[in-house]
Amino acid sequence: MLQTPSGGDGDGAAAAAADTGLMSIGAVLNVLREEFPEVTISKIRFLESEGLVEPRRTPSGYRKFSAGDVERLGHVLRMQRDHYLPLKVIREHLAAMERGEAVPLPALSRPGDGEDPAESVPDTPAAARIGRGRLLAAAGVDEQRLAEWESYGLLVPVGDGVYDAEAVTVAGLLTELGRYGIEPRHLRAMKAAAEREAGLVEQVVAPLRRHRNPQTRAHAEDRTKELASLTVKLHAALVRSALGVRLP
């Protein structure tokens, strides 16, 4: 069985699955969100389509995940989040672990280690950055595709050839949507809506950030995360309501 890397909640996830038997994709989502708040059902399906997890299927086609599946998903998400590894490397790493080989994960690089600063990743989560080359590798796309995303404002560098860590998630979702024929030009309205939602959150937390009390200013970051989570959930619920669908 795969061993969950230190620093995560994989043991709790596996225990939850063991206690309840096989889990639906919705139950798995709830377990994973304890450590990965931004994970979505689409992300889990994407990882399945890439062969990184193979849940069982009921006769009616519903996915059922075991404790090992949940542990494996947590391991994959952690390698993406903490090490920015492309899916091909993650797949090879998992295969080596299943063969019983001890395969160390690469350490996060830092500026000044002899690496191009644009390719370095600080070890401070709040300031996580990823270089253009690593983003291309993680997303599995070429320069032309990335340039197209940038031309529509779907991905925007925060510096010279440097992106925030969330760019990996955005690139993965853009790739998955592209498989359904949804092109970057179709997503401009979604980008504009996201910017409006972000502007609303900024408007709410701005007074906290300007406050004289350092503790109040520090609280602004927590409030921003809370509001961001709520707006994402509301947006998803509104889309489901508009389509008249319920996700499994």
83-120 confidence digits (pLDDT tens)? 767 777 788 888 888 888 766 665 444 333 334 433 44
Kindly report which listed range (67-71, 96-100, 150-154) carries the lowest average pLDDT score. 96-100
pLDDT grade, residue 121 (50/70/90)? very low
Ordered alpha helix ranges (H), the chain: 10-20, 25-32, 41-49, 67-83, 87-98, 132-139, 143-151, 166-178, 188-209, 214-243
User: Looking at residues 58-74, what average pLDDT do you find?
Assistant: 91
- Please determine, for residue 220, whether its predicted confidence score (pLDDT) is greater than 50: yes
Per-residue pLDDT at 107: 47
What residues contact 45, with CB distance under 8 A and at least 6 apart? 25
Secondary element (H or E) of residue 56: strand 56-57
User: Looking at residues 114-128, what average pLDDT do you find?
Assistant: 41
- Please determine, for residue 141, whether its predicted confidence score (pLDDT) is greater than 80: yes
Distance CA(120)–CA(131), nearest Å, equals 6
Which tokens sit at 223? 């409030």
pLDDT grade, residue 227 (50/70/90)? confident
pLDDT grade, residue 6 (50/70/90)? very low
Per-residue pLDDT at 125: 40
Q: At what angle are helices 143-151 and 166-178 packed, to 10 degrees?
A: 100
Q: Following DSSP, what letter does each residue of 25-55 receive, concatenated? A: HHHHHHHHTTT-TT--HHHHHHHHHTTS---
- Please determine, for residue 171, whether its predicted confidence score (pLDDT) is greater than 80: yes
Among 171, 187, 229, which Cα is nearest to 46's?
171
State the average pLDDT for the chain: 78
Residue 129's SS3 state is strand
- Please determine, for residue 65, whether its predicted confidence score (pLDDT) is greater than 90: yes
